[in-house]
Amino acid sequence: MALFHVQGVPIGYVAIMLAIVASMGGFIFGYDTGQISDLLLMDDFLTSFGQCGTPGDVSTCHFSNVRTGLIVGLLSIGTLIGALLGAPTADFFGRRRAMQLESLVFVVGVIIQITATDQWAQVAVGRLISGLGVGALSAAVPMYQAETAPPQIRGTLTATYQLFITFGILIAYCISIGTRHYKGSKSWQTVVGIGIVWPGILAFGIQFMPESPRWLALHGRMDEAQTSIARVRGVSAKDAANDFVIQKEIEEIRSRLEFERNEEGGWIDCFRPANKQLYRTLLGMALQSLQQLTGANYFFYYGATIFQSVGIEDSYVTQIILGAVNFGCTFLGLYIMERFGRRYPLIIGGLWQSAWLFVFASAGTAKVPQDNPGIGKLMIVSACLFILGYASTWAPGIWILIGETFPTRTRAKQGALATASNWLWNFLLAFFTPFIVNNIKFRYGYIFASCNLLGAVVVYFFLYESSDISLEAVDMMYNDPNCKPWTSRTWAPAGYANRRDLAEQARAAEAHKPLSGATDEHFEKAGSAHSGEKV
């Protein structure tokens, strides 16, 4: 039974549950990201793995830039490799089984970390292995959510991945502030060890969710694909064969796969110019790279250290404030990305983020923050306002786009390439940030500000608006020679005046009251309208 209706079509409770359960993959990512900033400041972690002038005396211990960069950054190397391995894994085993296997890999990495006693390299290797699981999940989860979610709420459901990333970061901060005074290794082992719980929830919960209907259809299992869509729609399996909306979705998937039947779907196909494959691969890689270059992880990885340097006494508390802003504003992002589409929020977000990073960098450069409390407060406010913009635009928006920009046969591989680009820049920033900050201090913010401006430009000139239409229609749009990125917001499948007309006709069909000119044949043609076009 449908839980509610959107644009007149049914949405089942399973659609909400699959978004929440699969998004535990994002929670794992966020929790692992959030914990490291505080671990680097914990006394036992410092004395166990840092370089100490007097063994056991925390006041003489520190982490060199190289050691800090490797402990923080090796996770990202693992995630880069994991993202690339995640594509064939998800294609071979299916989206759900792949997520279960990747959760197990993450747990192995956590166990390696918490059993370390005095070898920092063991912690780094454990983070590398955990990264394999996180990276593969980062490729699989948004793809699974986009392929399974109803188009009417796809943006919101896919954005829950980013929401759970921010939730994971916040929870890591809160647990860290609670354990920092524990005696001995319990202070940091507790934080890291609790990480085993989250993949357990994902691996167990995803067992009860439907498989991606597009993966099932790609493997010739159309009856199961129909059942999967029916569960998400809240329609019983026996009624699915007579349900107009479900049959329309199945027909769109079938006709698009028929059009793609001669395409191999291998790695090399991701770089072929035909059907804008190369265009979309490079666009996805650029957007994921630019998401890292917004500068958000500068605050999340090194936030505690940054705010110590501006004279804040308890930088743990400041981290929680930033984490809370990040988490809270992501709810705003769910609304923005569903209400205003993808292009406008990303363009405006890039400009907003750039402005506040200029303020942050200028304030830190103009005066010494430690000697000027007002400057330090201004920097924290500007950092929070930057995160407000990031959490409500670029953070959820890019993960949504990775799930809905690519065609079915190559979606896993193109998504993996894009996600790997994210992790490559994640590593480069994590590793080199200590060196860069030592040399240019807070002027580092100017670099990120410029990258945000570049992001806004890339979105305007190259990104197509993919909201409110099916994944198959997105593929048609990219292959329509008459559609340009800046005009794509008004594009709709053949037979519809615009996207509102598409929604109204779907609503009328669900109510069994077809609008004038709207027939079953009309809808079937819309699903395969551009299949004969050459590009």
Q: Where are the domains of the chain?
A: 2-214+266-462
pLDDT on residue 474: 92
| Dist. CA 355–CA 63, nearest whole Å | 33
Q: What distance lies between CA 422 and its chain's CA centroid?
A: 10
- Beta-strand runs (E) in 57-113: 61-62
Main-chain dihedrals φ then ψ at residue 175, nearest 5 degrees: -65, -40
CB-side neighbour CA atoms (13 Å) of 66: 2
pLDDT on residue 315: 63
| Dist. CA 274–CA 260, nearest whole Å | 12
pLDDT on residue 519: 42
| Dist. CA 408–CA 413, nearest whole Å | 10
Residue appearing with tokens 């069994």: 512
pLDDT on residue 513: 43
The list of the chain residues with pLDDT below 70 reads: 1, 262-264, 300-316, 503, 505-535
Residues 80, 81, 83, 88, Cα dihedral to 10°:
160
Question: Bridge partners of 9?
Answer: 6
pLDDT on residue 38: 80
**3-state secondary structure (DSSP) of residue 4:** strand
Class of domain 2-214+266-462: mainly alpha
pLDDT on residue 498: 74
pLDDT on residue 390: 95
The total number of residues shown for the chain amounts to 535
